[in-house]
Structure 1
């Protein structure tokens, strides 16, 4: 999956990405700026990877903004896709994630 992360990072850095309607709605709801998310990419940490998903292979990344950590799912329809996709954005639930928002709590 490291290859997927690298492929998506390269597409984002070259401006070849799109924001799903769902993700745009979440950004708007939470008052988050896409520019802040993009600026935090150099320090993102990959939490989980998914072989298959609605938007193809994807991963959950922890981004740290001035307001605190957020979770962002980035994906790509397939390895030959021109664009990466910002699938969704959410604030980690403190009951479901540890203090650093990097590990799911056991149920």
Structure 2
């Protein structure tokens, strides 16, 4: 597939940068909570710190999931199955792969659930 390898590599680099940024954000939130009053129940900022920690943690999980999808797409590219729908075996449209390089299914199969 023309350009697929470069597109997937760019997606991977972007995900790794985002993961590094989020990990830094998470570490900052944890450090801030260490410096703050440990009694979340009575500390008006306690709920905010807990929420921020949960939010960043969720974003980290999202990026890790996307990174796993990118790596799976790279594996499919190496195996020669990239761009082939995993459900029906038909080619995935070039436009879909450009918009969503990690796509595993064609538009028809993705629409049908």
Higher helix fraction (1 or 2): 2
TM-score range (shorter-chain normalised) is under 0.3
Larger strand share, 1 or 2: 1
Q: TM-score, normalised by structure 1?
A: 0.25
Q: TM-score, normalised by structure 2?
A: 0.24
User: Of the two, which has the highest radius of gyration?
Assistant: 2
